[in-house]
Amino acid sequence: MRIAFVTVGCRLNQFETDALRGKAQVEGHQIVPFDSLAEAYVINTCTITAEADADSRQLVRQALRRNPSALVAVTGCYAQAAPEVVAAIPGVDLVLGNAEKPQLLAHIQGARKNGGAQVLVGAVAGRRQVMDDYGPGIDPDRTRAFLKVQNGCNYRCSFCIVPEVRGENRSQSPERILEEIRRLHAAGFPEVVLTGIHLGTYGRDLTPPTSLFELCRRIADLDAAPRIRLSSLDPHEVKPDLIRLLAGSPRFCRHLHLPLQSGDERILRRMRRGHTAAQFHELVERLVTEVPGIAVSGDVIVGFPGEDDRAFRNTADLLESLPIAGMHVFSYSRRPGTDAAGYPEQVPKQVKAERSRILRSLVARKAQAFRRRFLDETLEVVVLHRHGPEGLLEGLSDNYLRVWFAGDPALRGGVARVRVEQVTGRGLLGSVQGLGTAG
């Protein structure tokens, strides 16, 4: 069967899509791009914002325009949160929740077109679950591998729907993770990204309990491994021992993504976040001091209910004061079932749009200043692919800088040492100085 996959949302979703795609290839299916003619289209959705919901619906329509007779399967967090809404989209044949997602290929084989949408969505919220198993699927088209080490979240931020669609915290065993890292290294991946819904709580549910730091320490002790990147971590979960590990082990990328969400103390309390603005400021200053060259990025929400001009200015001032490398800026999106959806003082759409514009401009300026620091330096980059009509190769440094350079396409999937010669609005331009090493 010709199957096309597409992902909306986070790195964990991307891992799950990659694993399903790899498993489909092992089973003999032909994987085609999503914009190609396929017999089945799989849309792995997100529901973190209303915009993500809309993107997911649009992808269903795109698939059916390409092949009206194709089977359309929708899974992921939007399917989990609103199965009846997804099932009502004309042309959808199969709706699978997150617990059912690992068996997606078997369900596709048994599905029929034009028989109405089959809905298989079990409850995940409030239930104790085991870590799901997607098997050993590897997506050979990727040069960086995502590795799911944790799922679910026990926290209840007032704006967030994720615990309702992902369930409680659960972790993969350290032994299984180390085995997967060895396997990915043997398969030639130069970088592995450790992913989870709430990565900082890794290991707390295991017997005996362990921690993200202990897992990283064991990874650092491996004889051979790819370089390791940590995905998003809540600021209050970045402890001194983890900072020392990042500073002392070349195996770990100098990059942390820290969801700030707001720079105003009152709004942070209303969001039920686990950190203060002052703590975030102190953490970033410590990171850039102890881990030279580290890229600190994050997320920030504008227009949260009750965010007045002063609260917004506090957020902008905090970002202005810090040497951040980037920040995703989101307008607050009302999610049904969350406490914040019922809060008074909802911020008008046009105000949220203007505040987003202001912060994005600020962040772009800070990101450009961060890039300029590496002019004339040599970076080790994972070579991702050939980029654009100029035929340049695109690489990614350990501190998450995009670097373009001329080189042999055979470098794809390897590590190159690139001297930075020019800074652009999107990244860096440079020249190859030789081969690098991963891990």
- Structure letter (DSSP) for residue 348: P
Pairing of strands 191-195, 227-230: parallel
Q: What is the largest CA-CA distance in the chain?
A: 61
Average pLDDT taken over every residue of the chain: 94
- Point out the least confidently predicted range of 174-183, 188-197, 384-393: 384-393
φ/ψ bin of 277: left (φ > 0), alpha (ψ from -120 to 50), beta (otherwise): alpha
CB 52 within 8 A of CB 45: yes
φ/ψ bin of 262: left (φ > 0), alpha (ψ from -120 to 50), beta (otherwise): beta
- Using DSSP, state whether 396 is helix, strand or coil: strand
**Tens-digit pLDDT profile for residues 44-78:** 999 999 999 999 999 999 999 999 999 999 999 99
Tell me what pLDDT residue 114 has. 72
**Tens-digit pLDDT profile for residues 241-287:** 999 999 999 999 999 999 999 999 999 999 999 999 999 999 999 99
Counting residues of the chain whose pLDDT is more than 70, the rounded percentage is 96
Pairing of strands 118-120, 94-96: parallel
Mean pLDDT in residue range 395-418: 96
CB 140 within 8 A of CB 115: no
Tell me what pLDDT residue 337 has. 92
Q: Where are the alpha helices (DSSP H) in 260-403?
A: 265-271, 277-290, 309-321, 349-372
pTM: 0.93
Give yes or no for a cis peptide into 409 (omega within 30° of 0).
no
pLDDT at 217 over 70: yes
- Structure letter (DSSP) for residue 155: -
Cα separation, 86 vs 365, in Å, equals: 40
Tell me what pLDDT residue 123 has. 87
**Tens-digit pLDDT profile for residues 306-349:** 999 999 999 999 999 999 999 999 999 999 999 999 999 999 99
- Using DSSP, state whether 328 is helix, strand or coil: strand
Q: What is the CA radius of gyration of the chain?
A: 22
Going by pLDDT thresholds of 50, 70 and 90, the confidence category of residue 438 is confident
CB 338 within 8 A of CB 160: yes
CB 420 within 8 A of CB 378: yes
Q: Determine the Cα angle at 229 with ends 226 and 234, to 5°.
A: 155
Tell me what pLDDT residue 111 has. 87
Give me the residue label for tokens 């080490």: 149
- Top pLDDT among 117 and 136 is at 117
Going by pLDDT thresholds of 50, 70 and 90, the confidence category of residue 126 is low
Cα separation, 60 vs 54, in Å, equals: 10
Spatial neighbors of 432 by CB under 8 A, at least 6 apart, are 405, 406, 407, 411, 416, 417, 418
**Phi and psi of 67, rounded to 5°?**
-150, 95
Q: Which domains does the chain have, with CATH numbers?
A: 2-120 (3.40.50.12160), 144-372 (3.80.30.20), 378-435 (2.40.50.140)
pLDDT at 426 over 90: no
Going by pLDDT thresholds of 50, 70 and 90, the confidence category of residue 115 is confident
**Phi and psi of 42, rounded to 5°?**
-115, 120
